[in-house]
Copies of this chain bind each other. A is one copy, B any other.
Amino acid sequence: MNSKFPASISRLIDAFASLPGIGEKTATRLVFHLIRSPENSSKELGEAASSLKTDLKLCEKCKNITTSNLCGICEDSTRDVSKICVMEEALDVLAFEKAGVWKGVYHVLHGVLNPLDGVGPESLTISNLLNRVEGGGVEEIILAMNPSIEGEATAMYLTKQLKDIQPEGLKITRIARGLPTGSELSYADEITLAAALSGRREF
């Protein structure tokens, strides 16, 4: 069907349609919306997308997405660095921060173990987390993976790894199953997030 369009149109349709949750029909409508809009709308989107990754790096400590060596949370001296909440994605950190339910720090794994997709422990930031724990001063690790099969497996793997190091008095907990199985952490409301945090149990 795209052959019916000029190349510049089908190119943008394809780019939109490669995004999750956007099919070819929605992509086509978005492109035609941009064609009808003033030229700076598509230019602005174009420049924003092109420069997206230019300044982005990962926080040296927690691997959250940031533009400096340390992220704002790791730089914040009021945060309790003895408690690390382990997240799948930077987006999940944002969910906790928006809810304002966590005063400790984070560790972002950037994914979960998924052997079928070729995601093994070395693809995630697990070794960085273990180094942080071995570095001392950590009293509690809260596992806050999504309540999915891969999240479960990752939590179990992490627990085993952390118990192998066995730092004195390290408590490993996980957020409570206030979240319905199969849902997405970053879509959860603040009360659910708060309940899930306060109801955490020894793993």
Known contacts: A32-B91, A36-B110. The answer to whether A8 contacts B52 by CB under 8 A is: yes
A56 within 8 A of B: yes
Residues of chain A in range 17-51 having any CB-CB distance to chain B below 8 Å: 18-22, 25-26, 28-36, 39, 41-51
- Whether A39 lies near B65 (C-beta < 8 A) is no
Inter-chain contacts of A41 with B (CB < 8 A)? 18
Inter-chain contacts of A130 with B (CB < 8 A)? none
Inter-chain contacts of A49 with B (CB < 8 A)? 12, 15, 34, 42-43, 45-46, 49
User: From residue A137, how far is it (CB to closest CB) to chain B in Å?
Assistant: 26
Inter-chain contacts of A47 with B (CB < 8 A)? 46, 50
Inter-chain contacts of A110 with B (CB < 8 A)? 36
**How many A residues touch the partner, as a band?**
35 or more
Inter-chain contacts of A165 with B (CB < 8 A)? none
CA–CA, A49 to B1, complex, Å? 20
User: From residue A6, how far is it (CB to closest CB) to chain B in Å?
Assistant: 4
- Whether A26 lies near B15 (C-beta < 8 A) is no
A67 within 8 A of B: yes
Closest to A98 in B: B1
- Whether B46 lies near A42 (C-beta < 8 A) is no
Q: A35-B53, A46-B51 are in contact. List 4 more A-B contacts (CB 8 A).
A: A1-B94, A9-B52, A15-B49, A22-B30
12 example contacts (A-B, Cβ-Cβ < 8 A) are as follows A6-B56, A7-B67, A8-B56, A9-B56, A15-B44, A18-B41, A19-B33, A21-B26, A32-B91, A42-B53, A45-B46, A46-B51
